[in-house]
């Protein structure tokens, strides 16, 4: 089962992706997480993308293409995967399609998380992320049990560099201009399902996919 979670930043894709990973035993692939790890490890790639990411711009398509190609080759993707926050534009979607074709594979579902931008800004400003396991928390409606500590792994929580008000605005602009066109793209391929990001997105997706598995 190969899934894509599409939608504005802060729509809860990451949280739902983690639950789906557990439920269906297929890995979440988030280019955001992979790139932040590169930055943390101060690799060449990390240095290349750090500035771009802190401004909320998209990193070059070539970089993403290579990450996709290499990542889905790994053993754990045999039964499928969950793409969280990628592809981010038409070019990346076309690359993915090409890679899939070469592998004789295809995407089964694209879920579009619908959420008003006003809600996104509030969610992102209050978002905290676990340094160790990348679980997302929200100081308003999904507070960790202990301040700044991950409930799941005890790791330290931090605020992402790009979760600042000015950067958030730019990310939403980039989203509207570059990522939103993917909605139509996948609609035309009959792959798109709309999901209300506020209302039990995980359960809804799970039920759809259970139907698929039978």
Six-digit token string for 116: 């008003």
Nearer to Zn ion among residue 46 and residue 155 (C-beta): 155
Under the criterion CB under 6 A, does residue 134 sit at the interface with ligand ADP?
no
Please say if 206 is a catalytic residue: no
Under the criterion CB under 6 A, does residue 86 sit at the interface with ligand ADP?
yes
Among 16, 29, 58, 121, binds ligand ADP (CB under 6 A): 58
Q: Give me the catalytic one of 13, 18, 65, 128.
A: 13
Compute the Cα dihedral for 27, 195, 12, 38 and give only its sign: positive
Neighbours of 31 (CB within 10 A): 22
For residue 51, the surrounding DSSP H or E stretch is helix 44-55
Under the criterion CB under 6 A, does residue 18 sit at the interface with ligand ADP?
no
Q: First and final CA of the chain: distance in angstroms?
A: 12
Report the partner that residue 31 touches, choosing among ligand ADP, Zn ion, none (CB closer than 5 to 8 A by kind): ligand ADP
DSSP symbols for 63-74: HHHHHHHHHTTS
Q: Any idea what DSSP says for residue 149?
A: B
Coil, strand or helix at 131? coil
Please say if 127 is a catalytic residue: yes
Nearer to Zn ion among residue 74 and residue 133 (C-beta): 133
Q: Give me the catalytic one of 18, 65, 127, 128.
A: 127
Q: Any idea what DSSP says for residue 60?
A: P
Residues that bind ligand ADP (CB under 6 A): 9-10, 30-32, 35, 52-53, 56-59, 64, 85-88, 92, 162, 171
Please give the positions annotated as active site.
Answer: 13, 88, 127, 160, 171
């Amino acid at each position: 089962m190969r899934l894509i979670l599409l939608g504005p930043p802060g729509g809860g894709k990451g949280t739902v992706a983690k639950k789906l990973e557990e439920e269906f035993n297929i890995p979440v692939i988030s280019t955001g997480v992979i790139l932040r790890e590169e930055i943390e490890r101060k690799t060449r790639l990390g240095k290349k993308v750090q500035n771009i990411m802190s401004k909320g711009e998209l990193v070059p398509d070539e970089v993403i293409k290579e990450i996709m190609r290499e990542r889905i080759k790994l053993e754990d993707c045999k039964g499928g995967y969950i793409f969280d926050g990628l592809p981010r534009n038409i070019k990346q979607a076309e690359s993915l399609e090409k890679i899939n074709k070469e592998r004789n594979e295809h995407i089964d579902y694209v879920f579009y998380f619908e959420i008003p931008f006003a809600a996104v800004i509030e969610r992102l400003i209050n978002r905290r992320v676990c340094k160790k396991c990348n679980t997302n928390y929200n100081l308003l409606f999904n507070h960790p049990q202990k301040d700044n500590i991950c409930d799941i792994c005890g790791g330290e929580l931090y605020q992402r560099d790009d979760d600042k008000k000015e950067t958030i605005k730019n990310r939403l602009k980039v989203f509207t201009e570059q990522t939103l066109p993917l909605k139509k793209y996948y609609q035309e391929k009959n792959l798109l399902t709309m999901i209300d990001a506020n209302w039990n997105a995980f359960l809804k997706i799970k039920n759809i996919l259970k139907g698929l598995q039978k």
